[in-house]
Amino acid sequence: MRLKNKTAFVTGATSGIGRVTARIFAEEGAEVVLAGRRKSEGEAVAQEIRQAGGQAIFIQLDVTQPDQVEAAIAQSVRTFGKLDVIFNNAGGSSVKDGKVTDIEIQEFWNAIQLNLFGTFLCCRFGIPELIKAGGGSVINNGSYVALHGLGLDAYTASKGGVLAMTRSMAVEFAEKKIRVNAIAPAVVGTERIVERVKVDPLGTKAFAIQRLGLIPPEEAAYAALFFASDESRTTTGQTLYLNGGG
């Protein structure tokens, strides 16, 4: 029960890494707020957690919308009384991404808004609640592309911003006992990624350089669990690179 008596807010929790992480956090004793855009999928995961004896609610949320993020954080605190952990997992890339000289300008802003601005908003409204709770942990989901160039210039820029902001926030909030860390997974074997690799040459290239194969979503979730737990209470400003052997 590594997260006993903690409340965790997980974005992008309706599928992939977010869904697996929410389940593992609950198994480890946390009260979990699952946030995401797909209501039926999110409600189903929350119900699974409750049926297994855990505590969880689902809040429909678009992390790019400030009013929605502020309301979701407030609802989380009303429900469970406090907030201890934020896992900024929501994000993604598009098959339209590519070279800066080729992609549409809006493609760049879409990536920045979802990956970087969404993380910013959850921190903006969530960190004050962590401070009220006496301290806590923010975990940001970056990407291996921010550390190992592979293309996808818009997505790479947005995730590079996430990792830079992670380091900056770690300094800004350390005196408030808030630690801010990131995970940077290579290609994770989620349903979406497995399907994309079949049709996307870049995805195939990424998979080919991972000598240990696709990363199981559980591995990314356990990395987030380490940063969420008190085992990392003196660690901040760090990025854990899950490279798949690439």
Identify which of 117, 47, 94 has the alpha carbon closest to the alpha carbon of residue 192: 94
Residue 208 and residue 8 in contact, taking contact as beta carbons nearer than 8 Å: no
Instruction: State the catalytic residue, choosing from 144, 155, 222, 241.
Output: 155
Report CA-CA distances (Å) from 90 to 107, 140, 212, 213: 17, 9, 25, 23
241 is catalytic: no
List, as own/partner pairs, every contact residues 241-244 make where C-beta atoms lie below 8 angstroms and the sequence separation is at least 24, other chains included: 241/144, 241/147, 241/184, 242/144, 242/183, 242/184, 242/185, 242/186, 242/188, 242/215, 243/144, 243/148, 243/186, 243/210, 244/186, 244/187, 244/210, 244/211, 244/212, 244/213, 244/214, 244/215
Burial class (CB in 10 A: 0-12, 13-18, 19+), 70: middle
Catalytic residues: 155
